[in-house]
Structure 1
Amino acid sequence: MLVPVLAALALAAAQPAPAQPAPPPPAEAPALSPAAQQALAGWKAEFAKVRAEQAALPLPAGVVEELARRVALEQAGRRAMTPIMVSDLPAPEKRAVLAEVWRELTPIDEDNTRWLKTVLPADGWFRHSREGKEAARNAWLIVQHSSDRDFQKQVLKRMEVLVSRDEVAGPDYALLYDRLEMFEGRPQRYGSQASCQDGKLQIYTLEDPARVDELRRRVGLKTTLEEYKAMMRVGASC
């Protein structure tokens, strides 16, 4: 069984974080032990803190500022998962805790997608030279974490035209490309996506294993596949 998983460890600043799709909930969620309940409570407290901080802010001044706030919230929720992911909880309990986490995060991702569609630039996508690199990357993150495959495909086509002009980041394009290939059952090109296979974290099938490092360099990814696998803890239990 192949199940997409999120990257639990922070990567180098120049290396974009891989996709973080929600794992499916366990068929029969076990009763949470005190340790699992504590892990979930820790996540909820951290996430609630960020929500409260944002609620205390004045209304955003425009699209760029709202992009930053929306992404700050969804990223905070994902970063707060790290203690759960690296914990010693038994795998069934860990899955059950993460299912509870995703019950709160998924509606946020869905709302971000709906909102982003209403504020797209007239020419279809955000540009480094116009909205700024941070805004372009924040918009991409919302798309990367969206469950709307048709929207992801539309954005990928728009980004493809802009990559060669340095108007969007090559690594962002690569991660969205790989993500769509994986979800449509095709091999990925850049080696950015990992999945849980038979209880172990593995890099998803590659289009051209012999050339993957060359392809990664061409698109601006700063690590080799082997370096990336070490960051992702490929081979660890999942």
Structure 2
Amino acid sequence: MKKASLILLLLSCSVIVFGQSKIDSALYKKLGAMFKEDQKWRIESAKLYNNQKSDYDRATVDKNWAIADKLNQDEAKNILTKYGYPGYSLVGESGSSKFWAIVQHCDDDIPFQQKVLLLMKKEVDRKNASGEDYAYLKDRVLTNLGQKQLYGTQGILNPKTKKWAPLPIINPTEVEARRKAMGMISLKQYIKEINTGN
């Protein structure tokens, strides 16, 4: 009995190791570096916006932010061409989400974002990418095109009340069902959480 248990344990460990060996560690590290640069200038910008101490002035932040986004966008296109959408099986959940975040910030190239959406949807359907990430990107593209969104992820902060509210939503009575299908919290809870942080 002990021998059988040991064999099963060894087999399960082999499966775990085998599963992990599929992760492209070089690509994962590249995505980590890209994401770090993506976030660095956004964090510095937020510090300046909130009158907090930053090692950079506004001009330096804005310049480096634009450079980082352009470099990341070019590299994201190369990655998409070479690998398709990098899902969990290629770079793990964390790596896949980092790629999504970079694409989310490619607002000056909506056709590229749309191309990513098509490939990403296939991976979401295979449970190989995040439905929630997909919903955010879908809404981002729709609102950038001047259309109503599906999931209510994109919104605007009222400068007077300091309260966030979603931009217009297609068939708002169905938004909760759409969000649930993507594994998201309710829109009501989402709005509450955003406004608690403001």
Shorter chain as denominator, the TM-score bin is: 0.7 to 0.9
1:204 aligns with 2:170: no
Structure 2 match to 1:43? none
Match of 2:99 among 139, 147, 160: 139
1:195 CA drift (Å): 2.6
Matches within 5 A, 1:66-145: 66-86=30-50, 101-120=61-80, 122-145=82-105
Kept in 1, the 8 Å contact 2:135–2:182? The answer is: yes
SS state of the match for residue 165, structure 2?
strand
CA 1:80–1:230: 2 relative to 1, 3 Å: farther
CA 1:205–1:98: 2 relative to 1, 3 Å: farther
Q: Structure 2: which amino acid aligns with 1:116? A: A
Deviations 1:60-80 (A, max 9, x none): x72220110110222233234
Amino-acid identity (%)? 27
RMSD between superposed Cα atoms in Å: 2.6
Deviations 1:201-222 (A, max 9, x none): 431101121121221111011x
CA 1:104–1:157: 2 relative to 1, 3 Å: same
Q: Quick one: higher RCO (CA 8 Å, sep 6+), 1 or 2?
A: 1
1:163 aligns with 2:127: no
1:107 CA drift (Å): 1.8
TM-score by length of 1: 0.61
TM-score by length of 2: 0.72
1:151 aligns with 2:112: yes
Kept in 1, the 8 Å contact 2:164–2:191? The answer is: no
Q: Structure 2: which amino acid aligns with 1:140? A: W
Q: Structure 2: which amino acid aligns with 1:127? A: G
Instruction: Structure 2: state its 5+ residue gaps.
Output: 1-24
Structure 2 match to 1:230? 192
| Aligned pairs, number | 166
Matches within 5 A, 1:17-28: none
Structure 2 match to 1:48? none
CA 1:169–1:112: 2 relative to 1, 3 Å: same
Instruction: Structure 1: state its 5+ residue gaps.
Output: 1-60, 89-96
Give, in whole Å, the separation in 2 of the partners of 1:233 and 1:98.
26
1:111 CA drift (Å): 0.9
Give, in whole Å, the separation in 1 of the partners of 2:96 and 2:164.
30
1:118 CA drift (Å): 1.9
Of the two, which has the highest radius of gyration? Answer: 2
1:85 CA drift (Å): 4.7
